[in-house]
Amino acid sequence: MTSTSSAAQNTRVPDDIAQAVVLPESYGNETEITYPAFAWLRQNMPVGQAFVEGYDPLWLITKFDDIMTVEKNHSLFNATMNNPILNTQAGDTFLRSLTPDGSIRYLDALPFLDPPEHTQIKAATSNWFTPKNVAKYTERIREIAREDVEKLLSYDGECDWAADFALYYPLRVILGLFGIPQEDLGLMLKLTQDFFGANDPDEKRDDIEVSPEAAARQFQAAFADFFAYFDQFTEDRRANPKDDLMSVIANAKVDGEFLSRGIVNGSYLQVATAGHDTTSSTISAAALAMARNPDQWQKVREDHSLIPKMVDEAVRWGSPVKHFMRSASEDTVLHGVQIKKGERVMLNYPSGNRDEDYFTNANEFDLERSPNKHLGFGFGGHMCIGQHIARLEMNILFEELLPKIRKIELVGEPKPIKTNFVSSYKSLPVRFTKA
Ligand code: HEM
C-alpha cells in the first residue's frame, strides 16, 4: 500500500524502523530495537509514515515539540475518528463489530472522547484528582506501602520484584481509593490483562481457535459481567455516598444529571486499569535503574528529598505508556510534512522523552535530572488525570523502602511485556540487601 502524501514528500519510514516502532514484539527489547529506531527517526524523519502489514498506515511522531503540538490541539487532532489505541486492522474491525453503530468507541472512557463531551466528563470528576485532594489519602496509602514492604522483606533477600511485589502495590492502592473490596484484587488484575494488556504475542493462545463471532460474544459477555459487578456499587454509592472514588464517579453530574451508565462504568474500568499497571511498571523501572546505578540509590537513601525527582525520572526513563493515537480532523502540516484529513498519528512518548533537544544523556537514568519536563503523563486535554495519585503512591513507597533496603542487584534478565501500549515487566529477578 502506498500513500500519495508520503510518496510525494519522501517521508516513507524504512520498513525495519517502522516495524521496530509499531510491532508489540519490538518492545521486548527497547534498548536494542525501539530506542535506536526512535533515535533514527528523530534525526532523519521526525514525521514519517509507517506501512506495516496488518496495520493502517500511520504517521510516527517522535520529536518532543511535535508531540506537544498534537497534544495541545484537540480540534485539529482528534481522538474519536479512529481508535486512540493502536491496533491491527483485524483488531479494529473486531472492536467496531461490538458497537451498535460500528463506531470504534467500544468503551465510554476519557481517551475515547473529544470536546465538548471530553471536557465535561473530565471536569465532572477532576477535583478529586488534584494534589490537594489526593494528599488526604496519604496515611491510608502509607499503611498499604508498609504492609507490602514487610512482605517484600519476608522474601529474605531474593525475589521477582515485578511479579512478587510491584504488581500488587498499585493495585491495592487503587482498589482502596476506589472502595472495592480487597478480595476482588484477582478479578481486577484479570480485567486489566483481558482488556488492556493483551497484545503481547507470548500471551496469545494459539491452541484455541475461535471464530470472530464467538470472540465478540466472549468479549461482550466479559463486559456484561463487569458492568453487572460495577452496577451494584453505583446503586449503593448513590444511596450511601462514602469517602471513595467510586462515590465520586457514581454521583458526578453534567448539567444536573448523573453520568450515563456507559460513562460511569467506562470511567470505573478506565481508572481501575490505567491506575495500576502504569504505576507498577514505573516502580519496576526505578528498581532496575537503581540496581544498575547503586551510587544513585545510596544518594537518595541519604537524602529523601530526592525521592520525587527519582520517581519522575523513572516515569521519563521507563515511559510505561508507549503511545496514544490521534487522527487529523483537517488537512494540515506538521514539522513541514503534509498530513491529510483522517490520517492517523502515533504519539511516541518514549521517543519524546529521549529527545536530545530536551534531555542530555537521555538513555541514562539521572536521579537529579533538571529540568525534567517529560511526556510520560502526556500533555494537553488528555493529560493523565491520575498523575498526582501515581506520584504520591510512589513517593510513599520509596519513603518506606529506602530505610529498609541498602542495595538492590539484578540477578537475572528483566523480561518486559511485549506491548506497544502500556508496558510492564513480567519478571525482574533481584537480590536485595536489608539495611
Ligand atoms: C506512572 C503512572 C502513570 C503513567 C505513566 C500514566 C500515563 C498516562 C498517559 C501518557 C496518558 C495519556 C495522556 C495523553 O493522551 O496526553 C494517561 C491518561 C490517563 N490516565 Fe494515566 N498514567 C499513570 C497513572 C494513572 C493513574 C494512577 C490513574 C488513575 C488513578 C490514571 C488514569 C488515567 C486516565 C483516566 C487517563 C485518560 C485521561 C484523558 O483521556 O483525558 N493514570 N495516563
Percent share of the chain, pLDDT over 90: 79
Q: What is the pLDDT at residue 183?
A: 86
Radius of gyration from C-alpha coordinates of the chain = 21
The closest of 328, 250, 288 to 31, measured between CA atoms, is 288
Q: Over range 176-205, report the average pLDDT.
A: 70
Q: What is the pLDDT at residue 349?
A: 98
Ligand 1 atom having least distance to the Cα of 113: 40
Which residues make beta-bridge pairs with 429? 160
CA 70, 275, 89, 97 dihedral sign is negative
| Mean pLDDT score across all residues of the chain | 92
Question: 58 phi and psi, to 5 degrees?
Answer: -150, 150
C-alpha cell at 216: 465478540
**What is the whole-number distance in angstroms between the Cα of residue 222 and the centre of ligand 1?**
23
Q: Report residue 203 CA to chain centroid gap.
A: 19
Ligand 1 atom having least distance to the Cα of 245: 30
Residue identifier of the C-alpha nearest atom 1 of ligand 1: 279
Top-level CATH class of 4-434? mainly alpha
**What is the whole-number distance in angstroms between the Cα of residue 71 and the centre of ligand 1?**
14
Cβ–Cβ < 8 Å for 23, 322: no
Mean pLDDT check: name the lowest of 209-218, 359-368, 379-388: 209-218
**What is the whole-number distance in angstroms between the Cα of residue 380 and the centre of ligand 1?**
12
Q: Over range 296-317, report the average pLDDT.
A: 98
**What is the whole-number distance in angstroms between the Cα of residue 384 and the centre of ligand 1?**
3
Q: What is the pLDDT at residue 7?
A: 55
Scanning the structure block, which residue is given the C-alpha cell 525495519? 16
Q: What is the pLDDT at residue 5?
A: 55
Q: Over range 38-44, report the average pLDDT.
A: 98
pLDDT digits (tens, 9 = 90+) for 150-166: 999 999 899 999 999 99
Q: Are strands 405-410 and 429-434 parallel, antiparallel or unpaired?
A: antiparallel
Residue 147, pLDDT above cutoff 50: yes
Pocket of ligand 1 (CB under 6 A): 71, 110-111, 122, 174, 270-271, 274-275, 278-279, 282, 315, 320-321, 324, 349, 376-380, 382-386, 389-390
Quick one: pLDDT band at residue 393, thresholds 50, 70, 90? Answer: very high
| Residue 261 to residue 243: CA distance in whole angstroms | 21
pLDDT digits (tens, 9 = 90+) for 351-367: 999 999 999 999 999 99
Quick one: pLDDT band at residue 225, thresholds 50, 70, 90? Answer: confident
Q: Over range 370-397, report the average pLDDT.
A: 98
| Domain residue ranges in the chain | 4-434
| Residue 427 to residue 163: CA distance in whole angstroms | 6
Which residues make beta-bridge pairs with 332? 339
Residue 206, pLDDT above cutoff 50: no
Instruction: Please work out, in degrees rounded to the nearest 5, the angle formed at the alpha carbon of residue 178 by the alpha carbons of 186 and 184.
Output: 20
| Residue 162 to residue 413: CA distance in whole angstroms | 12
Q: Over range 104-110, report the average pLDDT.
A: 92
Q: Report residue 349 CA to chain centroid gap.
A: 10
Mean pLDDT check: name the lowest of 36-40, 70-74, 98-102, 109-113: 98-102
| Per-residue three-class SS string for the chain | CCCHHHHHHCCECCHHHHHHHHCHHHHHHHHHHHHHHHHHHHHHCCEEEECCCCCCCEEEECCHHHHHHHHHCCCCEECCCCCCCCCCHHHHHHHHHCCCCCCCCCCCCHHHCCCCHHHHHHHHHHHHHCHHHHHHHHHHHHHHHHHHHHHHHCCCCEEEHHHHHHCHHHHHHHHHHHCCCHHHHHHHHHHHHHHCCCCCHHHCCCCCCCCHHHHHHHHHHHHHHHHHHHHHHHHHHHHCCCCCHHHHHHHCEECCEECCHHHHHHHHHHHHHHCCHHHHHHHHHHHHHHHHCHHHHHHHHHCHHHHHHHHHHHHHHHCCECEEEEEECCCEEECCEEECCCCEEEEEHHHHCCCCCCCCCCCCCCCCCCCCCCCCCCCHHHCCCCHHHHHHHHHHHHHHHCCCEEEEEECCCCEECCCCCECCEEECEEEEEEC
Burial of 361 (C-beta count, 10 Å sphere; 0-12/13-18/19+): exposed
Q: What is the pLDDT at residue 226?
A: 80
Residue 203, pLDDT above cutoff 60: no
